[in-house]
Amino acid sequence: MQPHATALIVIDVQSDFCPGGALAVADGEAVVPRINALMRDFGATILTQDWHPDDHASFADMHPGTAPFSMIDMPYGPQVLWPRHCVGGSLGAAFHPDLCTDRADLILRKGFRPQIDSYSAFFENDRTTPTGLDGYLRARGITDLTFAGLATDFCVAYSAVDAARLGFKASVLLDACRAIDLDNSLQDAIARMKTAGVTLA
Ligand code: VGL
Ligand code: ZN
């Protein structure tokens, strides 16, 4: 494999997903030194950033009478309601302060449309609205993608499954990811990734 055809895709290593944040993933900040070290091994490094407007429909407080982590039916299908997190421009939406963002070629923001959530770095949760990442990678001739970051069972898994479906060679470095693990979501995500042909390392 030509090194220039490989990319490390770092998913949502943001303060709100780390201990002390609004949607903290247990041990989330542990991935930071590992990811920083990995960046030198790839032809490209791409960071994603969960980036929601103030009135985002995935926030439980936008739906009176609902609790965080309950489910709701959106026009595009079932959606988990989350605590308010990663509001664009807020401290919680910033990358973890120790993440080496200077090494990134591209920072891709997702989840900025008020009425639709976006777990995957490729498609929003309606599974059809593209983020533009597919075109960017193809235009650069990048074919092999390695994923790391937060959270394994949501944004990392959705991104890796979409990558494999789009024809990229996709792998996930599980020890450079941490999970939310809601109702068995980690086991489900691992099964979906395997079925899609994602390599789990
Ligand atoms: C994520 C829930 C809501 C993630 C983002 O990055 O996995 N999870 N927004
Ligand atoms: Zn989010």
Choice among 144, 155, 162, 177 that is catalytic: 155
Place of tokens 């941490």: 178
* Site residues for ligand 1, CB cut-off 6 Å: 12, 17, 50, 82, 119, 150-151, 154-155
154 with 17: CB under 8 angstroms?
Answer: no
CA gap 39, 36 in Å, rounded: 6
Tell me the average pLDDT across 166-188. 97
Determine the 3-state secondary structure of 153 from DSSP. Answer: helix
pLDDT at residue 142, rounded to an integer: 98
Q: Is the peptide bond before 94 cis (omega within 30 degrees of 0)?
A: no
Average pLDDT taken over every residue of the chain: 97
Please tell me the number of the ligand nearest to residue 158's CA.
1
16 with 28: CB under 8 angstroms?
Answer: no
Q: State yes or no: pLDDT of 162 exceeds 70.
A: yes
Residue bearing the CA closest to ligand 1, atom 2 = 154
pLDDT at residue 1, rounded to an integer: 63
**Is the entire prediction scored with pTM above 0.95?**
yes
